[in-house]
Structure formats: structure tokens, C-alpha cells
Amino acid sequence: MMRPLAAALIVMGLVAACASPRPAPPAAAPDLARGLAQKVTADRLVTHLRALQNVANANRGNRADGTPGYDASVDYVAKALRDRGFNVSTPQFDRLYNVSPGKPALTVAGRTYQVDQASLLVRTPPGGLTGTPVHPTRPSGCAVGDYPAAVPKGAIAVVDDSGCSVVDKQNSALAKGAAALIVLSAPSGQGAPPGLFVPGHFKQLTVPVAVVGAYGAPALERETAPIRLVLDAENIKVSSRNVLAQTQTGSPHEAIVVGAHLDGPRDGPGINDNGTGVAAVLETALQLGPLAPVNNAVRFVFWGADEDGLNGVTDYVFGMDGSQLNDIAMYLDFTVLGSPNAGFFTDDGDQSGPPSPGIAFGDVPDGSAGIERTLGGYLNLAGKRPADMPLGTRTDYHPFMVAGVPIGGMTTGASQPKTTVQARLWGGQAGVPFDPNFQGPRDTVDAVNREALAIMGSGVAFAVGTYAESIGGVNGVPPHDKRHRTRVP
């Protein structure tokens, strides 16, 4: 599959980075992919894994986000890139860490209903808050004038989900003296109305705010007797960092973004998950270098706060405008590349496998199938027949996919058990997880499958080299003038 592709690659003229005073570098060298793949060896990857293991050993056995172990992991990756000559940034972002889910609830006329706590950082007093429900004359409650002239002290405002953001609704209610806010939001099958939950809304909510769905909303619509609201979920705000570096050569309007999540789980050192992905992406960057002869810029990213909910990648993608998103040709994601009982999977960009919950065929951006063919072709040439890994919503590529960016990646499998057919195909033990140590204290450097790591690490370099040369051809992605992305959400 890949031999015709490799033979068909031609040297393209380099599109110089706009606003850059540097002279244009030479066009990409022929067959950059194979040369780069040969340089990303198991020995070099294990050097990075041992460094990350040492970080975990020195920091209570883990590299989890929000801990000194994660900060040391950021420092290690950033220093390696800077020493190679890259301009490196470590942008900070805030995320929430759930200390306790609590049992948020609303009691109306003696009956209790489950609610969602929108004020993630603000809780009701212990035992809850009791107040008279107040309904604005205009149900959206977006303006102070929507409320009656007199509002009882300590009232709980009850509004619908239309017209403005939850922050505006809170501010209007607060100006009339309300002590809390309840938003009635009947599910439409498409989530909350656009604009209800603006980015960072939780940072701007200063009183308890709840969202009540279709089950509890009818009970509140005409209620005038006091109601009781309990919002007891506890969350804390944690600051974290991503790590970014980009080649100074190649067109910045056709950027190949390559990523891996840098944080580990809280119960182990996180070497296979995801030190292996970090090592492969980092070593590919070091071997490529900041002044590589490429046609398309390559951006290397290492995500923070993945284990607690894709916070780093979501903050990054959702913070881009349409123009910035259009400048991304594709996103390549690599995670768990050295499982002891390894499989050899490519992300199912052509949706040839069974559908995944939450992912429809039309959700997968055009070009993702070509990326899968490139990665699958590499694995075939490496002597490993690839299988589909179903796409998921709890993955670092998902925010890019939502934004319309073609995605692809590889993995050796995590906690899923290997089937009998897969054991015949790849060797190993049927009925045993691909990684029996997944997210536990035994996920150490000594448990990593070096053979699988060597194959997959070289595959990362092969994919980067392939698309750094060209995004065209049968396995390419839509060019810049065919992208029409808008900011999300």
C-alpha cells in the first residue's frame, strides 16, 4: 500500500512562513519519511522513558497533572526541545479537578429532583439553601427589567435557557437580590442552546447556579412556595501547562500537528501510558530539528491534564479562531505504544470497523481515511498487519475532530483483552489485556515491549516525514483553500 505512495512523493516548492525574515529553506528532501523513521530507535526512545521513570520515582511514584512530577515532566520535554534549537512555549491553562461529586438536588413540594451544578466552584451552604422561587416576567431573565419590581430577600430565580448566557442570567438575578439561580433546560437532543455556557462560564458564577432538566422543570414552572437547593459537588481550580514547539521551516498554513499527552495517571508512573507516546513524538522532533528541509511546518505538542478530562487539548483547540484552525492540515495522535501484550492498531479514520458510541460516520473529517491508510501501509511494511481502533470521544484527537481537522494515530492497545484471532495475528496471549499494567504502579519502563515500541516509534517518524513533505496524493488531506472551519464550541 505504501510502496506506490513513497515512490510517488515528489519535491515540492516550499511556501515560506509569512512574516518571517528568514530566507526560504531548501525543499523537502526526497523520502524524508524513511530516513527519519530509521533515526527514531528503541534505544533513543528508552532513554526518554528512563528519564520519565526517574521523574516519577522522585515524585511519589507518579507524574500526574497538578503535581511536582508533572512539572518535572514538562521541564524535561521543554529542555530537550530547547537544547535542540526549538522555540518552545509552555502555555498555562486552568482546569477543574473534582474532589467530590456530591449529590446536587432540588426539593419542590416535598419531592426531590436531581440537578446539574453549573456553578462548579460555588456550592450552597452545608445542608442547602431554601428560598422563594421567583419567575421573571420574561422567562429568559436576561435583563434586570425582566423581574418584578419587588423580589423577596434570598429568593431563588427560576429562568429558562434561552436568550443569553448563564452568566448574564445570574447577573440579572443577582442585581435583584436573588441568592441563587435555577435554569430550566429541557433536552433537545443537541445539548444546551448555543451561547448558554460560554467558555470559562464557571469562573464568572458567584452564586449557586443549577440546571434542571425535563424531569424536574414542570414542578418548578408555577411553584411559589419555598424550595430547597443543594449544590454540594466540590471542585478546585488547577493550573497546568501544555508544551509546544514548531519547525521554523515549512508552510505555517499547512501545519502538521503531532501530539501525545504528557501527564500520567495518579496511581502509577505512566510510562506506557503515555511516556511511550511522549518519547516517540519528542524523539521525532529532535531528529527532525527546527530547521528541517520540510514543505509543511510540523508542530509538536504535549498535552497537560489529559487523564482528568482532555483539558489541555480542549483548551488549545477551542481557543483557536477559524483562521488558525484552517492552518492545521491534520492532527496525528500517539498514545500507548509499548504494551507488553501488544496489538498494532490504527485509528479507524475510514470508519470501516463497527461504529463507536458518540461517533457517527459524518463526524469524521475528510482526509482521516488517508491518514489511516498511510499508517496502515507503514505497519504492513514493518511486518505487522494493522487492525482498526474504534474512534472515541475521550481521546486527544476528539477536539480536533469536532473542529473539522483530519485525524489519525496508532496504539498498541490498553486494558482491552486480546482476542484469540489477534493473538494468532500478532502473537502474545489471548484473553490477557494488551497492557496488564495499564494505569497502575507496574506501568514502568521495564514492562514496556521494546519490539512494539521500536515499530510504533519509527511509525510516528514515518508519518511525520511523509506529511511534512506533502499533504497531497491519494492519502492526503484537503488543501488550505478547501477548509472552512469555524471556532468551536
Question: Higher model confidence: residue 117 or residue 185?
Answer: 117
Does 73 lie in the same domain as 51?
yes
Does 314 lie in the same domain as 212?
no
Going by C-alpha positions, the residue among 338, 350, 358 that lies closest to residue 387 is: 350
Question: Higher model confidence: residue 168 or residue 4?
Answer: 168
Give the pLDDT confidence score for residue 309 in this predicted structure. 84
Would residue 200 count as lying in a domain? yes
Does 109 lie in the same domain as 254?
no
Does 395 lie in the same domain as 332?
yes
Q: Over the stretch 89-100, which tens digit does the pLDDT of each residue have?
A: 999 998 888 899
Does 294 lie in the same domain as 383?
yes
Would residue 282 count as lying in a domain? yes
CA 344 to chain centre: 22
Question: Higher model confidence: residue 389 or residue 27?
Answer: 389
Give alpha helix (H) positions in 309-449. 311-318, 322-326, 368-381, 398-402, 420-426
Domain count, the chain: 2
Q: Supply the DSSP string of 285-309, one letter for each residue.
A: HHHH-TT---SEEEEEEEESS-TTT
Does 394 lie in the same domain as 263?
yes
Does 303 lie in the same domain as 205?
no
- pLDDT bucket at 488, cuts 50 / 70 / 90: confident
Segments forming the whole domain that contains residue 165 = 102-232
Average pLDDT over the chain reads 92
The last residue of a domain, from among 179, 212, 232: 232
Q: Supply the DSSP string of 108-135, one letter for each residue.
A: ETTEEEE-EE--TT--PPTT-EEE-EE-
Give the pLDDT confidence score for residue 477 in this predicted structure. 98
Question: Higher model confidence: residue 198 or residue 284?
Answer: 284
Sheet containing strand 251-261, edge to edge, reads: 88-89, 243-246, 296-303, 251-261, 328-334, 407-411, 345-347, 387-389
Which parts of 18-70 are beta strand (E)?
A: none
Query: Do the beta carbons of residue 186 and residue 196 sit within 8 Å?
Result: no
The last residue of a domain, from among 209, 232, 255: 232
Query: Do the beta carbons of residue 285 and residue 86 sit within 8 Å?
Result: yes
Give the pLDDT confidence score for residue 32 in this predicted structure. 96
What is the percentage of the chain residues whose pLDDT exceeds 70? 92
Rounded to a whole number, what is the distance in angstroms from the first to the last CA of the chain? 37
Q: Over the stretch 82-130, which tens digit does the pLDDT of each residue have?
A: 999 999 999 999 888 889 999 999 999 999 999 999 999 999 999 999 9
Would residue 329 count as lying in a domain? yes
Beta bridge partners of 97: 236
Task: Report the CATH number that the domain containing residue 46 is assigned in CATH.
Answer: 3.40.630.10
Give the pLDDT confidence score for residue 411 in this predicted structure. 98
Does 359 lie in the same domain as 336?
yes
The continuous run of DSSP H or E covering 245 comes out as: strand 243-246
Would residue 488 count as lying in a domain? no
Does 355 lie in the same domain as 207?
no
Give the pLDDT confidence score for residue 262 in this predicted structure. 98
Going by C-alpha positions, the residue among 255, 284, 244 that lies closest to residue 86 is: 244
- pLDDT bucket at 190, cuts 50 / 70 / 90: low
Does 150 lie in the same domain as 62?
no
70, pLDDT greater than 90: yes
The last residue of a domain, from among 199, 214, 232: 232
The pLDDT of 237-263, averaged and rounded, is: 97
Kindly tell me the burial class for residue 246, based on how many C-beta atoms sit within 10 Å of its own C-beta (0-12, 13-18, 19 or more): buried
Would residue 222 count as lying in a domain? yes
Would residue 251 count as lying in a domain? yes
Does 248 lie in the same domain as 213?
no
The pLDDT of 416-430, averaged and rounded, is: 98
Does 263 lie in the same domain as 402?
yes
Q: Over the stretch 15-69, which tens digit does the pLDDT of each residue have?
A: 333 333 444 445 666 699 999 999 999 999 999 999 999 999 999 999 999 999 9
Give the pLDDT confidence score for residue 207 in this predicted structure. 97
Task: Report the CATH number that the domain containing residue 186 is assigned in CATH.
Answer: 3.50.30.30
